Chains A and B, each alone.
Chain A
Amino acid sequence: MFCKGAKRKLEEDEEGLEGKALEASVAGAGVGVALEGLSKVSYTLQRQTIFNISLMKLYSQRPLGEPSLERRVLINNMLRRIQDELKQEGSLRPLFLPPSPPPDDPMDEGFREAPPSFGILSQPSALLMPAIPPPPSPHPMVLPSCPAPQRLEGCATPLDACLTPASLLEEDGGDSAFCAPSPPTPPLSPPPLAPSSALMSKLSSSVTVLSNDSFSSPPSDMELAPPTAITRTAAANTMTITTSPTPSPFSSPTGSTRDCRTMGAKPEAAAVFLPAHSPASLEDISPSPSSPSSSGFLSDLALDDVLFADIDTSMYDFDPCTTAGAVGATAGGGGHAKLSPVVNADDLLKTLTSNQPFKIDLTELDHIMEVLVGS
C-alpha cells in the first residue's frame, strides 16, 4: 500500500511531465526531447520503484527464516547507490541548467543533469525519500544505510559534528557543501552514447517490465517493521517524528537474537536497538525530553525521545566516558548523554533525508501513518 501511495504521486507527475514533454515535441523541439523526457521519467520511475522494493525487502519480515547475509548486503548496496544518486541529483535541483542535457543512456547511473522541465521530477523522488520510514533495525546490518560518522561522503566533518545533531539541523548550504561535489556534476564514468534505437528498445523494455510488474502485495505481507518515519521541514528547522506502533514484533525474539548472533552484532548497537523494538508501541509522539543534558542543543530533536522513549534510561550513564565503545565516544564533551543512540539516530536521519530540507504536508504524513498502521 505504501508503494502504491508513492506511485500515485509519481504517476501524476509523470503524466504531467510526459504531457509537457509531448507538448515540447509538438512545439517543434523534436521527438528527441520527448524521448528524453520519457526516458528520464522512466529511469527515475524505475529507480524509485527499485528503491521502494529494496526497502521493503530489507525491512519486511520474511515468513521463512534463514536470512541471507549476501542478499542483505546486495540490497543494501542497491539502496546506497540509489541514495547517492539521489543525493547528487538533489543538490543539483536548485540549478536550472540549459535545456540541452547530454542524451545519456537513461540507465546510466552517471546521468545527473536535468533540464528545467524535469526539475520538478526530482522533487517527488526527493520528497518520497524521507517518507520512506527508516527502521532502526535490531541488527546492525541495517546500519550500513546509516553512514558511520566516517562515511560522510568524503567530507572532513570531524566525528564531533556527527554527534551533534545541530550540524544536521543546519541549513542546506552547510550540508551540501560537504555532501555533494560541486554541480554540475559530470557523470562519473561517461559511457558511450547509446544509439537512439537502442535507447528506444531499452526504454520500451524497461517500461514494459514496470507495467507488467505487480507490486501490490497484500497489506498483510507488508509488515513494515520500521516504527519511525523521520521528516524535516526546512523552515521550522525542527524535526517532526511520526511513529506507528509496530503491527507485529519486528522479529521474533529468537529471530532477532539469531540475527544478531549471525551478524556478529556489535553489542552496543544491539543493545540500543533491541529495546527500541520491544512490542510496546511508540505511541507517544509528543516530545518529552528524557534527559535534560541532551535536550540542551537537542531542543528541536524530538526524534531521540520518541525512538527511545521506552528504553530504560537508567542504563545510560551521563558520564560520556562510560559510553560503550561508541564511535566518537572520545569526542564527548559537555555531558553528552546517550552517545551511542544519538549517533545512530543521527545517522539514520542523515542518510534518509540526504541533508536536504523537505516539506511534507501533514496530510501526506497522515496518509503515511495510516499506511504504516495498516488501517
Chain B
Amino acid sequence: MAGKRKLSERPGGGSSDVQWCFSQVKGAMDDDVAEADIISTVEFNHTGELLATGDKGGRVVIFQQEPESKNQPQCRGEYNVYSTFQSHEPEFDYLKSLEIEEKINKIRWLPQKNAAQFLLSTNADKTIKLWKISERDKRPEGYNLKEEDGRYRDPNSVTTLRVPVLRPMDLMVEASPRRVFANAHTYHINSISVNSDHETYLSADDLRINLWHLEITDRSFNIVDIKPANMEELTEVITAAEFHPDQCNTFVYSSSKGTIRLCDMRASALCDQHAKMFEEPEDPNNRSFFSEIISSISDVKFSHSGRYMMTRDYLSVKIWDLNMETRPVETYQVHEYLRSKLCSLYENDCIFDKFECCWNGNDSVVMTGSYNNFFRMFDRDYRQDVTFEASRENSKPRSVLKPRKISTGGKRKKDEISVDSLDFNKKILHTAWHPLDNIIAVATTNNLYIFQDKLN
C-alpha cells in the first residue's frame, strides 16, 4: 500500500526538519491557458492513493499513486493518470459561451467500502453526482448466444453449450454516474461534505444547506436557510460548510461576514438557530472600507482530530478551538503586505478570490495558497512558517524547494521579491495534503504540482 511511511513515525514531523522537493507536475506547459483547463478543485482520497482534480470544463482527472517499487524502496510512487471522465456536460460550447456552467466546484471522496471507489462531484449547474470508479481487468469470453464482437448468433446455429470463462485483459478504469442529485439548489453550490455516518452528506449554496441520503436522489432536507423574506435585505451569504469528522450530528458553516456557526442536527430539523457562533471582534486598528470583504471566509476545514477547525479569510488563516467561540486560538498572516493594497485588489476583483486551506495528516501543519504561485505552510508546533513557489523553474526532479521571501520595506535583499512585482493572475487557490504522508498537491491555474518531503 502506498504511503507506508506514516507521519507519526517520523521524528519531529513538523516543518522544521522537513525539506520539500518537487516530485511531479501535470498539465499543459504553455502559458496560454484555456478557460476549460483551469483547475477548480483538488482532493486526495482517504488513503491518499488517489488524487482527484476537477476543472472548469467539467472534467475529473484521477491520479493513482504507483506502488513503491522494490528497486527504490525509499522512493514514493508517482501519481499517474488513473481515470478521466466528463462529470458535467457544458450547456454551450465552452469556447464560445459566456457561461461556464460545467465547472466542477467540489469533489469529495467517499470512504471506500468495496473494490470500487466513489466520489461526489458538484458543479455550478447546481447538481451533485455520485460517481463509481471501478476497475476491470477481466472480461468474459465464450458466450453462447453472442459472438465475440457482441452480435447475436442465430439461435438455430447453436449446437453446443459452454460456460463462459473470465480472461485477463488490460486494466480498464470505468467511471459511471450512479446517482444524480438535482433540483435542490437555487444558488451556486459552494460546498459538499460527506457525513461520518457514510450515509448522508450535505450540500451548501449561498443561502441554503441541504441534507441528502446517498441512496435517495429525489429528496433532500433543508437544514439551514438564511434567505430573507425580502431579498433586498440580504447582507450575508453562506460561503462554506462541513460536517464534523466524528460527530455525525454536527456541522459548521461560514459566512461572508466572517462568522462560523456550528449546528447540531439533533436540536431541530431546521438548524437556523446555531449551537455555537464563532466570531472574532474586529481589530479597530485595522478597520478600513474593506474590513467586511476581507473578513469573508472562503474555506472552513475541521482538523482530523475534530477538536479544531480552520478558517481562511482573505489575509489570514485562523485556527479555532471548538470550545471557544470568542476568538481563534491561532492566527497566521498569509500575505499581510497586501493590506495596503486592498483598494487595488478590490478594483481588479482579486479581493474576492476564494483561497482554500488544508491540514496535514496529524494536524500539526496547515497550508494555504497565495499569489504569484506562492503557497504557505504554517507549523503550529514549531511556530514557523514558510513560503514556497510552484513554478516550472523549480521542477527538476527531487530538487529541494527554496523558501521565498517577499520584501515589504524599502530595501530589497537579494532573492527577495517585491510586492509590486507579484503576479496576481497566478493564484494558488486549491491545495491538498495527503492524509497519511508528507505529499502535497498544489494547483496553479492549469497545472497540478506534487511535492513530497525528502526521504533521507
> Chain A residues in contact with chain B, CB under 8 A?
46-47, 49-50, 53, 57, 63-66, 68-71, 73-74, 76-78, 81-82, 105, 107-109, 140-141, 143-144, 146-148, 150-151, 189, 191-192, 194, 198, 205-206, 208-210, 212-213, 215, 252, 254-255, 258, 261-266
Asked if B124 and A66 sit within 8 Å, CB to CB, the answer is yes
Return chain B residues, CB-CB under 8 Å to A265: 231
Asked if A146 and B352 sit within 8 Å, CB to CB, the answer is no
> Main secondary structure on chain B at its contact with chain A?
loop
Return chain A residues, CB-CB under 8 Å to B289: 46-47, 50, 78, 81-82, 107, 109
Q: Of B100, B187, B256, which contacts A65 at CB under 8 A?
A: B100
Q: Of B124, B293, B344, which contacts A212 at CB under 8 A?
A: B344
Asked if B234 and A144 sit within 8 Å, CB to CB, the answer is yes
Binding stretch for chain A, among B235-243, B262-270, B374-382, B433-441: B235-243
Asked if A70 and B206 sit within 8 Å, CB to CB, the answer is yes
Asked if A264 and B186 sit within 8 Å, CB to CB, the answer is yes
With contacts A73-B256, A140-B232 taken as known, whether A78 is within 8 angstroms of B293 at the C-beta atoms is yes
Q: Which of B124-151 contact A (CB under 8 A)?
A: 124
Asked if B100 and A66 sit within 8 Å, CB to CB, the answer is yes
With contacts A47-B289, A191-B287, A209-B344 taken as known, whether A73 is within 8 angstroms of B235 at the C-beta atoms is yes
Expressed in whole angstroms, the Cα–Cα distance for A198 and B207 within the complex equals: 40
Is B421 located at the chain interface by the 8 A CB criterion?
no
Asked if B293 and A264 sit within 8 Å, CB to CB, the answer is no
Chain B, residue nearest A217 (CB): B347
> Chain B residues in contact with chain A, CB under 8 A?
97-101, 103, 124, 186-188, 206-207, 227, 230-237, 239, 256, 284-285, 287-289, 292-293, 296, 340-344, 346-347, 349, 352
Counting residue pairs across A and B whose Cβ atoms lie within 8 Å, the total is 122
Expressed in whole angstroms, the Cα–Cα distance for A53 and B347 within the complex equals: 7
Minimum distance in angstroms from A153 CB to a CB of chain B: 14
Minimum distance in angstroms from A33 CB to a CB of chain B: 24
Expressed in whole angstroms, the Cα–Cα distance for A50 and B99 within the complex equals: 28
Asked if A107 and B231 sit within 8 Å, CB to CB, the answer is no
Asked if B346 and A53 sit within 8 Å, CB to CB, the answer is yes
A and B contact pairs by CB, cutoff 8 A, 12 listed: A70-B206, A74-B292, A74-B293, A74-B296, A109-B289, A140-B232, A146-B232, A209-B340, A215-B347, A254-B99, A255-B99, A263-B231
Minimum distance in angstroms from B243 CB to a CB of chain A: 22
Asked if A262 and B187 sit within 8 Å, CB to CB, the answer is yes
Q: Of A64, A108, A198, which contacts B287 at CB under 8 A?
A: A108
Expressed in whole angstroms, the Cα–Cα distance for A219 and B204 within the complex equals: 38
With contacts A209-B341, A213-B347, A255-B98 taken as known, whether A77 is within 8 angstroms of B235 at the C-beta atoms is yes
Return chain B residues, CB-CB under 8 Å to A108: 287
Return chain B residues, CB-CB under 8 Å to A189: 284
Expressed in whole angstroms, the Cα–Cα distance for A202 and B401 within the complex equals: 36
Minimum distance in angstroms from B12 CB to a CB of chain A: 40
Return chain B residues, CB-CB under 8 Å to A53: 346-347
With contacts A78-B293, A191-B284 taken as known, whether A258 is within 8 angstroms of B237 at the C-beta atoms is no
Expressed in whole angstroms, the Cα–Cα distance for A71 and B206 within the complex equals: 11
Asked if B239 and A209 sit within 8 Å, CB to CB, the answer is no
Minimum distance in angstroms from B355 CB to a CB of chain A: 14
Minimum distance in angstroms from B434 CB to a CB of chain A: 30
Asked if B346 and A107 sit within 8 Å, CB to CB, the answer is no
Shortest 5 CB-CB contacts between residues of A and residues of B = A65-B99, A191-B284, A205-B340, A65-B98, A69-B206
Asked if A73 and B99 sit within 8 Å, CB to CB, the answer is no
Chain B, residue nearest A344 (CB): B232
With contacts A191-B284, A213-B343, A213-B347 taken as known, whether A63 is within 8 angstroms of B98 at the C-beta atoms is yes
With contacts A78-B292, A107-B288, A209-B343 taken as known, whether A70 is within 8 angstroms of B256 at the C-beta atoms is yes
Asked if A50 and B234 sit within 8 Å, CB to CB, the answer is no
Minimum distance in angstroms from A109 CB to a CB of chain B: 7
Q: Of B284, B293, B343, which contacts A46 at CB under 8 A?
A: B343
Expressed in whole angstroms, the Cα–Cα distance for A53 and B349 within the complex equals: 11
Asked if A262 and B186 sit within 8 Å, CB to CB, the answer is yes
Expressed in whole angstroms, the Cα–Cα distance for A262 and B185 within the complex equals: 9
Minimum distance in angstroms from A207 CB to a CB of chain B: 11
Expressed in whole angstroms, the Cα–Cα distance for A49 and B342 within the complex equals: 13
Asked if B284 and A262 sit within 8 Å, CB to CB, the answer is no
Expressed in whole angstroms, the Cα–Cα distance for A289 and B234 within the complex equals: 34
Asked if B231 and A143 sit within 8 Å, CB to CB, the answer is yes
Asked if A69 and B237 sit within 8 Å, CB to CB, the answer is yes
Return chain A residues, CB-CB under 8 Å to B349: 57, 71
Asked if A143 and B344 sit within 8 Å, CB to CB, the answer is no
Return chain A residues, CB-CB under 8 Å to B288: 107
Asked if A144 and B284 sit within 8 Å, CB to CB, the answer is no
Chain B, residue nearest A258 (CB): B99
Expressed in whole angstroms, the Cα–Cα distance for A237 and B388 within the complex equals: 63
Chain B, residue nearest A57 (CB): B349
Asked if A264 and B206 sit within 8 Å, CB to CB, the answer is no
Expressed in whole angstroms, the Cα–Cα distance for A143 and B233 within the complex equals: 9
Asked if B256 and A264 sit within 8 Å, CB to CB, the answer is no
Minimum distance in angstroms from B253 CB to a CB of chain A: 13
Q: With A209-B343, A213-B344 given, name 10 new contacts (CB 8 A).
A: A46-B289, A63-B98, A65-B100, A69-B188, A70-B237, A141-B234, A191-B285, A205-B340, A206-B340, A266-B231
Asked if A264 and B344 sit within 8 Å, CB to CB, the answer is no
Expressed in whole angstroms, the Cα–Cα distance for A109 and B288 within the complex equals: 8
Return chain B residues, CB-CB under 8 Å to A208: 340
Asked if A264 and B227 sit within 8 Å, CB to CB, the answer is yes
Return chain B residues, CB-CB under 8 Å to A266: 231
Asked if A151 and B233 sit within 8 Å, CB to CB, the answer is yes
Expressed in whole angstroms, the Cα–Cα distance for A146 and B231 within the complex equals: 11
Chain B, residue nearest A213 (CB): B344
Return chain B residues, CB-CB under 8 Å to A141: 231, 234
